[in-house]
Amino acid sequence: MDQPLKTVITGVSGRMGRMLVATIADSDRTVVSAAVERAGHDWIGRDLGEVLGGAPTGVTVTDDIALALQGADAVIDFTAPAATIAFARAAAEAGVAHVIGTTGMTTDDIAQLSGPAERTVLVRAGNMSLGVNLLVQLTRRVAAALDEDYDIEIIESHHNQKVDAPSGTALMLGEAAAAGRGVALEDVSDRGRDGITGARTRGDIGFAAIRGGDIVGEHDVMFAATGERITLRHVASDRSVFARGAVKAALWSRGKPPGAYDMLDVLGLSED
């Protein structure tokens, strides 16, 4: 068997960072080799196990990404767009695979990942769960089978701490629906209805975002026509589905050539 994958976790005190530490602790194929938080965070300089309320692990939380990447095989990154761009450059420099779950990235942010992806393996997805990635493929197929008599609406629901909208998953589903229809999402996307909006434009793909309580992540893709409605739905009730997908992507990265990949590649669901 291969040596356990030496994995760096960024944003380690966050909702996903903590879930990743727990997921890796349950695996004999990966170990946390370093843990990163933002400068000034009160976990910096402290033992990861102790700040999580357990036994010491020997991993000291750091804000120095270059140091954290030394000798590592992969970095799993669920943080924020500016941090992720900086980490992509550092991972490319260190030749370490970069698994990105961060959402809310603009087109310009994403363009800044193409240089790093020429130098290392970069896997990025707005949702790392198997279920959502299957839903992406189903959405593309249903959109291809139906014409514009079926209005496509994407409704996402998340917890009250989420900072970006529409969710990364909603945008993945929108891209899939647009691809199924053979159009560019940017040409048909309707993201901000408020006031006297006028009637719906035929062919648009609409987005709606709900924020409340501790909702982990729910996504509906609705195809609404006169007289009938089809809804494809995914409900995440536990963040472990995202963490398991991210760890799978990190393990998959081993030995792969540099390039930009997504979870469809990792899961073998890519149809292109």
Ligand X SMILES: NC(=O)C1=CN([C@@H]2O[C@H](COP(=O)(O)OP(=O)(O)OC[C@H]3O[C@@H](n4cnc5c(N)ncnc54)[C@H](O)[C@@H]3O)[C@@H](O)[C@H]2O)C=CC1
Q: At what angle do helices 240-253 and 130-145 cross, to 10 degrees?
A: 90
Question: How many residues make contact with ligand X (CB under 6 A)?
Answer: 25
- Annotated active-site residue in 6, 162, 219, 248: 162
Radius of gyration over alpha carbons of the chain, in Å? 20
Contact between 59 and ligand X per CB under 6 A: no
Contact criterion met (CB below 8 Å) for 153 and 206: yes
Binding piece for ligand LZUJQKHR, criterion CB under 6 A, among 42-50, 116-124, 161-169, 185-193 = 161-169
Of 68 and 170, the one with the shorter C-beta distance to ligand LZUJQKHR is: 170
Q: Which residue in 20, 37, 98, 151 binds ligand X (CB under 6 A)?
A: 37
> Which of 8, 10, 7 is closest to 30 using CA atoms?
7
**158 binding partner (options ligand X, ligand LZUJQKHR, none; Cβ < 5 to 8 Å by kind):** ligand LZUJQKHR
- 139 assigned to a ligand binding site: no
Dihedral over Cα of 200, 201, 202, 206: its sign: negative
Residues 6+ apart with CB under 8 A from 77: 10, 11, 83, 84, 87, 98, 99, 100, 101, 102
Beta bridge partners of 228: 225
The residues in 194-253 that bind ligand LZUJQKHR, with binding defined as CB under 6 A, are 217
CB of 140 to ligand LZUJQKHR, least distance (A): 17
- Annotated active-site residue in 6, 98, 158, 234: 158
Helix (H, G, I), strand (E, B) or coil at 149: coil
Residues 6+ apart with CB under 8 A from 232: 135, 138, 139, 142, 220, 221
**46 binding partner (options ligand X, ligand LZUJQKHR, none; Cβ < 5 to 8 Å by kind):** none
The residues in 112-141 that bind ligand X, with binding defined as CB under 6 A, are 125-128
d(CA 74, CA 181): 36
* 158 catalytic per annotation: yes
d(CA 259, CA 253): 10
- 119 assigned to a ligand binding site: no
Contact between 17 and ligand LZUJQKHR per CB under 6 A: no
Contact criterion met (CB below 8 Å) for 222 and 155: yes
Give contact residues for ligand LZUJQKHR (rule: CB under 6 A).
103, 126-127, 158, 162, 167-169, 217
Active site positions, annotated: 158, 162
Give contact residues for ligand X (rule: CB under 6 A).
10-11, 13-17, 36-38, 41, 78-80, 83, 101-104, 125-128, 168, 242
